[in-house]
């Protein structure tokens, strides 16, 4: 924008008889630049704002209601149904089997699902979940890090994926997600 301004001033001073035309071009360029910046900011703000609001609503775990819509399970936040967690019925078999912790179950086949966080029908973030042991467990994909040459799995309790998991996870044979984490050797940080 600075270079455009300098060039416009040089043209206005170099060609005084054409200064109204150059001034008009300068004003139009400034307006176009302002509009571009405005739309860029508007494109970022809603998702960031809605994602932050999502994080707040996820803390209220008892206010989510599960419904089946088409081939998806959808959790609605009952106090503002614009906020939804959608679990589509499609999966990736290869991705789920790459996690060592998913192999502790009797049925070692694991499927990976992309879960959509939505506001007003638009996806604002996607998180990955793993369906294990023939569907008896549906858990957030863990993060991993290598420590002393050993791969360690963990869930970050402040991450949005973990908070979503506190609402939509299934662990039929255990009383809590913490028990399942112990079974799978997943640390909760």
Q: Answer yes or no: pTM beyond 0.85.
A: no
pLDDT above 70 covers a percentage of the chain that reads 84
Q: Where is pLDDT greater, at 32 or 4? A: 32
Q: Where is pLDDT greater, at 43 or 119? A: 119
What pLDDT score was predicted for residue 42? 57
Radius of gyration of the chain (CA): 25
pLDDT at 38 over 80: no
Name the pLDDT band for 45 (thresholds 50, 70, 90).
low
Q: What would the mean pLDDT of 138-143 be, rounded to a whole number? A: 91
What pLDDT score was predicted for residue 44? 47
Q: In what order do the strands lie in the sheet with 170-171?
A: 64-69, 72-77, 83-87, 111-119, 122-132, 137-140, 170-171
């Amino acid at each position: 924008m600075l270079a455009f301004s300098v060039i416009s001033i040089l043209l206005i001073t170099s060609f005084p008889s054409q200064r109204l035309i150059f001034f008009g071009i300068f004003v139009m360029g400034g307006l176009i630049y302002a509009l571009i910046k405005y739309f860029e900011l508007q494109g970022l703000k809603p998702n960031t704002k809605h994602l932050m609001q999502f994080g707040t609503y996820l803390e209220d775990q008892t206010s989510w209601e599960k419904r089946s819509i088409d081939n998806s399970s959808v959790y609605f936040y009952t106090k503002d149904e614009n906020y939804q967690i959608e679990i589509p019925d499609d999966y990736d078999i290869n991705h789920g089997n790459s996690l060592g912790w998913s192999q502790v179950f009797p049925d070692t086949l694991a499927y990976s699902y992309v879960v959509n966080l939505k506001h007003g029908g638009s996806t604002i973030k996607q998180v990955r979940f793993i369906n294990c042991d023939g569907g008896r467990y549906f858990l957030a994909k863990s993060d991993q890090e290598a420590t002393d040459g050993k791969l360690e799995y963990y869930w970050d309790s402040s991450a949005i994926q973990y908070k979503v998991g506190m609402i939509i996870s299934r662990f039929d044979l255990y009383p809590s997600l913490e028990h399942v984490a112990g079974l799978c050797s997943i640390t909760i940080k």
